Structure 1
């Protein structure tokens, strides 16, 4: 984190990135002294309500984060930034998104947890848009023009006021990661009754060290009584995550039930002293590690693998088969995972794998015919991308696997195979 004093004293001259979180109420004019070099500007966690009208002077700015500031309108001056690609205004108080605020080269727009009721039709002019995060707003509809954003891959719509998913959305050729839980959609889109599984009282859990932390919560290793066993406990940070609502994640995790390639869930936490929501899960063998890391600013929607990551043909097929099996199981229950990514897969070098993280999961009616098939095949594209990443890092080529992978990426959504067919084709001969 940088300081305002260093900026004013010129000690940051030539910087390509600037991070300021010091209670700012006004945009420091000194930032313009970095106009020839600044590419990433992070002003999250201040008290800003506006940005200067001449923000376009930052002619090399590619990334702007202004989350957790009391903006009520997305600043129109964003649209004057010729190279701006990534914009994040999460957890503000934004009610209005003017068309003039849409930068011409926008690839990623994060407006999670605001008060937005409508979006401008001009959003469809952002033809390079790949990632659009809108969970936790007040949207009753999407602009039909969004159908023109043919490069869109990741869309978060959870916890809004949508009464239907538009037909064009289910035909988007590159859409792969979709979250839509927590909307007043028709019957069948709401969670069914959870299994008769007792909640787990906080007093029966003794937390130990932290195992990991993500945007939605912190996972601890813990000891559960009276079962006398070690478990993992995820405690959620707030009422909304970047993908949706914690109680939807917990419902999907519980209803998914037991499967050899899903992380096992034991129950919800009750009685936390601060009222935090929590989920008790099986403790995973430490030999299993994340298949990849989450996307970066540069990769936008693509996971980041270790440079030396390589997989044997056996490991590739075993990994792919495990993930397809888990996805087939979920869709047989009408559950769309919504975040089928390598960074949500725990695995060994030999290819044993577990799929986790139901933060973007949503239910859909299996009797919905074409809509149900389309939702599954949108997720099939996510699987196809993951399979392609594995094949790129495989030791040998496999024409059959490559053909399967290409079929998962077909632009015509309904021409893609189902997870049942994918799983069958991946079974050892």
Structure 2
């Protein structure tokens, strides 16, 4: 982080800075940023939270190397056309500006950066996207959640590199037909729209209570939960370790009004991955060497549905508690805050968790939290008035994930944009994933995805960084086989699209097309796992996975297999190994 006084005093001149971040209030764009020696090297400019509302017209000419620009939490009412003059600008963020439109005479004349690859317009008041976005041929990631969009321009179909699209919490009554034909679209979220099975009108407190009542999961009174400590904070809520008190002898009353202020702390802002308190546990050992991420493991775990670094288990699935929970059972308690995330709303995340049901490769949800009607609201600090009303509150009781589970990958970087990152040594050195473990991971995730789509749920974020993996054995001799187990986590981008289930029907014409879009995300996972897999493994397995991958990445979306077919094909590959 830098300071305005040093900038104005010339303290950053000739420093070779490639990144400049200011947080102090700004009435206008500091002209000192255009100093020749600074402008010649500056690639990343972060003025988020400064209150800036306008940019100089000659910004592009004065900052020719600018690649990334952050203006989130500012006051831009219209997308500034000055950015179109930046010849190398790839990533732009205007989250939560109150933005209502774009500078330009007509929607066709709106000028956008020609090299735009990553566009973030989350949590604004936009009613339309200009058709000129179709000229952004490199556009790969587009974050539009929490606006007032009623449609998308047909010209956007020309963005053939579009891979990730976030449309949650808008006013879309239908998805355009071209969207389900996009050859590279793999990560789609549109929850909280009229066209999804979870209508945005359900985000009020009364409807949320009605929806949770319809779930078969038991309700747990808040005063029956003992919170021990906070495990981590994600964008949608706070996760704590807790236990269920016995009803007998429970005289506690200080929890009757719901989550305390200690669970109301504001989570991380911006686009940083949330981090857990505490220190990392040792990386999981695979064939004597770590193949899983260590530096980001706890950070990623804090954003998933339930996390912990507690008691060990004999095998990955042997101590996963069944309902009903007994008193003193350690659990993870997630209290949803009312804030909109880049993926969607906490209401939709909770609805997806409830609808997902039980599966061995999903985090087990044990129950819903219930507190008094007069309870204080849970985590409504920073709630977005454009999407989630501050009246929403919710909470879930989930299993604790034992410490041997590690995240398989790390979230995308600025450069990789929509593809996960992996430890260099694990990807290129001798620390490889055994064939049996690779197949177990892929089979488990495919099975979980098939289960979700059978219930009309699209995960929306099927990435390695949302997959927790454990390897181990029972330690009983001949039964001590490879017991690699994977858990698909994090429903923050999930969408209920209502494929013949009790969640209702969505206004989507091609439900199978939605599943086949996500099959492409699974293909990326197959490619990632192949990169981690041991070279001395079975050639038949590698060839089988390559054939499966080829079928999942065909440009014609309708020609891709569905997840139930992939489960069968992976079983055949395992049998032939």
Distance 1:42 1:114, change over 3 A: same
Shift of 1:203: 2.9
Partner of 1:73: 78
CA distance in 2, matches of 1:203, 1:10: 58
Shift of 1:30: 1.2
Q: How many residues align?
A: 429
The 5-angstrom pairing of residues 225-374 of structure 1 reads: 225-226=245-246, 227-271=327-371, 273-276=376-379, 277=393, 278-309=395-426, 310-349=432-471, 351-366=484-499, 371-374=510-513
**Which region of structure 1 is more displaced relative to structure 2, 37-46 or 194-203?**
194-203
Shift of 1:31: 1.2
Distance 1:80 1:258, change over 3 A: same
User: SS of the counterpart of 1:323?
Assistant: helix
Shift of 1:11: 2.6
Partner of 2:556: 412
Distance 1:235 1:38, change over 3 A: farther
Partner of 1:129: 139
CA distance in 2, matches of 1:11, 1:219: 42
CA distance in 2, matches of 1:390, 1:187: 33
The 5-angstrom pairing of residues 99-248 of structure 1 reads: 100-185=110-195, 194-226=214-246, 227-248=327-348
Distance 1:59 1:262, change over 3 A: same
Shift of 1:270: 3.9
Distance 1:5 1:244, change over 3 A: same
- Cα RMSD, aligned residues only: 2.0
Partner of 1:53: 57
User: SS of the counterpart of 2:548?
Assistant: helix
Shift of 1:3: 1.1
C-alpha deviations, 1:241-262, integer Å up to 9, x for none? Answer: 1111111111111111110000
Shift of 1:9: 2.6
Structure-1-length-normalised TM-score: 0.95
For structure 1, the 5+ residue unaligned runs are none
CA distance in 1, matches of 2:177, 2:8: 52
C-alpha deviations, 1:394-415, integer Å up to 9, x for none? Answer: 1135101111011111101011
CA contact (8 A) 1:189 1:364 kept: no
Structure-2-length-normalised TM-score: 0.71
CA distance in 2, matches of 1:135, 1:370: 22
C-alpha deviations, 1:240-299, integer Å up to 9, x for none? Answer: 111111111111111111100001112333446442343322100111011111111111
CA distance in 2, matches of 1:204, 1:365: 34
